Amino acid sequence: MVTPLSLLILEDSADDALLLVKALQQSGFDPQWQQVETQQDYLAALPKGFDLILADYTLPQFDALQALEILQQSSWDIPLIVVTGSISEEVAVQCMKQGAADYLLKDRLARLGPAVTHALQDRKLLDQKRQAEVALQQNEAKFRCLIQHSTDLITILGLDGTIKYTSPAHKTVLGYQAEDLLGKSVFELIHPDDLIQAVAHLQEIVQTAESHLSRTEFQVLRQDGSWCVLESTGSNLLADPSVSGIVIHSRDVSQRKQAEDLLRHNAFHDQLTQLPNRALFLDRLEQAIHLLKRRDDFSFAVFFLDLDRFKVVNDSLGHQAGDQLLSAIAQRLKFQLRLGDTFARLGGDEFAILLENIRHVSDVTRVADRIQQSLALPFDLNGHEVFTNASIGITLSTPDHKLPEDFLREADIAMYRAKTLGKARYEIFSLGMHEQALALLQLETDLQRAVDSLERVNNQPFELQYQPIVSLETANLIGFEALLRWQHPQRGLVSPAAFIPMAEETGLIVPLGQWVLRQACRQMAQWQRQFPKDVPLSISVNISGRQFAQPDLLDQIKQILVETGLDARSLKLEITESILIENTQLASTLFLKLKALGIQLYMDDFGTGYSSLSYLHHFPVDMLKIDRCFVNSLDNPSQTGREHKSILQTIVMLAQNLGIDVTAEGVETAAQLAQLKAIKCGYGQGYFFSQPISATKATHIIAADRQAKLKHLMTA
Ligand code: C2E
Ligand code: MG
Ligand code: MG
């Protein structure tokens, strides 16, 4: 087999050159050759590219050493063998030092073939080595670049956790330069909460040979003092001499953690108040139930808290104000509880509290009292002073096995009981309440049915009774108050105290109240036509807060007046103080419109609520109806009796100064009447004059001119 060979011969003798070619041909080469003699030709030939150069040591104008030097300085990496007639040992050494592949004498040309083969092999090996080096360098550069630009942190640790290497990402992620960290223990950077876990993780990696891919998360201190959550995997490369350490690969997962935490928080917290939600509350309650089963000395209480007038605030001031109020309440109540207690918003205006480690019932009632007291202070909603209260139902843990929902239901029932007993109070659940709750639910269903049947059936389940209002000065009957009665098919007559709050709660008061208004106006219009008088009788109708919040109340009233033909001046609306306080803004505009129509406003049950006389300056009230508890105590010689009497006196005087009339409610005895007359109270209403009576009986009273009889009673 012949080996092709492109050859450059540096030689001044053509014969010698030919000899070289022949020698090569004999050794199995097929040379393509060019002969040059001068430096100039040599330089011109080099770019053609040769496998080999054979150079005579001495030429007339040039020599092999110069040729070698040119080669070394150029990029032509071609093996050069020096061939010469005679050469000293020194020159030979010099040639080799200059980079000659070999040297040989012209009279030993038999060695040329092997020398060329050898030189070409050497070259090939060298090329391969160079290529490998280049590839290695490229690879190294690639990895360095990856590490330099990786957002992941690569840390090499010693067996004991000493930091031996940190990648540049430590600067961007944690803020440290390499020199801040090298030589330190990695554990100095780990959050105390995660330290045990981190040590265990490192040990695990150390014990595992080579790769270990279990992940762990821990918090690491940033240079600025904040904490960063890293997710790490580690490899044990202690045995690898190029690393001899534990390689920790970490990634900053703080943002992902934050998002996860937020999602978890949202799943278990109420967005508005940031309190735990129902799900979390039931979960905590379940834990408490577990504890209850295991520990004899453990007990807990569940509070169910419902705001008493939230709907009114929401309807009158708007949902935004409602939200503000809920947040403010959440904030305020938090301070009344211990750190370990769970305070949750169940939804709407309902909250729940779990008190754990209760020693005595008084622990529970004390908390309930504190809550009531703190809620009694007004809330400021964008300049509106709002009062709210809460009805609280409480249930105490019992050892019988119950579900979290059962406790919550019991507390809810007790809360409902607190509401029916007058709100702004707490009740502790008892078994009897369950029955009562069922009965109440039944009553609610019946009330709904009764209201649905309004105007439809002849035999009305509702009826109005009328109670006379009398002038104490002249003993004249001036009008009646219309009072609603519900004839229940099974229970008989149900008192308004039992069903009016329920009707307010459910909203049934709206259609019911409208019916009352129409019925009362119609009756009074009929009496006025039947018994014309100089000063016509008037009718008082009770209006609840829920009715007041209706935007079309004014239109409804106008329409009823037109429909029944009653003069607006004969209609008096009885409202309670809470309406004013909860709807300050709404109330004042609506009042002015009602007044413009000629309708008078009576303040009902005065003295039982806020009794804020200052309101009387702002609202165009025509009459105060003093609550009967004041009248009751008029013939009571006790301290409270005396106090009530003096309060009554003050109210009457103050009202007179403001041009407001006063009616005393619940006048039952002649003694009370005498006292009321003495302090110049203008009007009275009560069993002493007459109980609330049917329309037919009232007609008789008017017809038979009972005034004479009333007068007789008053002078007796
Ligand atoms: P109120 O408006 O203060 O009505 C006076 C209540 O006192 C009536 O009770 C009346 O029967 C009672 N009363 C009158 N004189 C005496 C007395 O001398 N002694 C005693 N012990 N009580 C007397 P009633 O009819 O049970 O009504 C209770 C409450 O229910 C009313 O208090 C009123 O707030 C509400 N109510 C009654 N009818 C309606 C209505 O049509 N609509 C609305 N929204 N509420 C109504
Ligand atoms: Mg009334
Ligand atoms: Mg009253």
Q: What is the pLDDT of residues 81-106, one digit of tens each?
A: 998 887 778 888 888 888 899 888 88
Q: What is the pLDDT of residue 550?
A: 84
Q: What is the pLDDT of residue 612?
A: 61
Q: For ligand 1, atom 20, name the residue with the nearest CA.
A: 666
Mean pLDDT for 323-332 is 94
Q: What radius of gyration, in Å, describes the C-alpha atoms of the chain?
A: 53
Ligand 3 centroid, distance to 624 Cα (angstroms): 10
pLDDT tier at 583, thresholds 50, 70, 90: low
Q: What is the pLDDT of residue 598?
A: 95
pLDDT tier at 240, thresholds 50, 70, 90: confident
Q: Using an 8 Å Cβ cutoff, are 169 and 150 in contact?
A: yes
Q: Specify the ligand 1 atom closest to the Cα of 576.
A: 34
Q: Specify the ligand 1 atom closest to the Cα of 625.
A: 3
Q: What is the pLDDT of residue 457?
A: 67
Q: What is the pLDDT of residues 448-482, one digit of tens each?
A: 999 988 877 677 899 999 999 999 998 889 999 99
Ligand 3 centroid, distance to 449 Cα (angstroms): 27
pTM of the model as a whole: 0.53
**Burial class, 359, CB count within 10 angstroms (exposed 0-12 / middle 13-18 / buried 19+):** exposed
Q: Specify the ligand 1 atom closest to the Cα of 692.
A: 11
Q: For ligand 1, atom 41, name the residue with the nearest CA.
A: 484
Q: Give the residue from 557, 553, 630, 634 showing the smallest Cα distance to 589.
A: 553
Q: How far apart are CA 518 and CA 511, in angstroms?
A: 11
Q: What is the pLDDT of residues 270-294, one digit of tens each?
A: 999 999 999 999 999 999 999 998 8
Q: For ligand 1, atom 23, name the residue with the nearest CA.
A: 666
Q: How far apart are CA 605 and CA 624, in angstroms?
A: 8
**Burial class, 248, CB count within 10 angstroms (exposed 0-12 / middle 13-18 / buried 19+):** buried
Q: What is the pLDDT of residue 150?
A: 79
Q: How far apart are CA 3 and CA 117, in angstroms?
A: 10
The pLDDT mean for the chain works out to 88
pLDDT tier at 213, thresholds 50, 70, 90: low
- Alpha carbon of residue 34 to chain centroid: 89
Q: Specify the ligand 1 atom closest to the Cα of 509.
A: 44
pLDDT at 509 over 90: yes
Q: Which residues line ligand 1 (CB under 6 A)?
A: 467, 483-484, 495-497, 500, 513, 516, 542, 544, 574, 604-605, 628, 665-668, 685-687, 692
Q: Specify the ligand 1 atom closest to the Cα of 605.
A: 3
Q: What is the pLDDT of residue 714?
A: 56
Q: For ligand 1, atom 42, name the residue with the nearest CA.
A: 542
Q: Using an 8 Å Cβ cutoff, are 480 and 466 in contact?
A: yes
pLDDT tier at 370, thresholds 50, 70, 90: very high
Q: What is the pLDDT of residues 401-432, one digit of tens each?
A: 689 999 999 999 999 889 888 888 999 998 77
Ligand 2 centroid, distance to 665 Cα (angstroms): 9
What b/e sequence results for 74-113 when a residue is b if at least 16 CB atoms lie within 10 Å of its CB, and e otherwise?
A: eebebbbbbbbeebeeebbebbeebebbbbbebeebeebb
Considering every ligand atom shown, identify the ligand nearest to the alpha carbon of residue 663 and give its number. 3
Of 550 and 594, more confident: 594
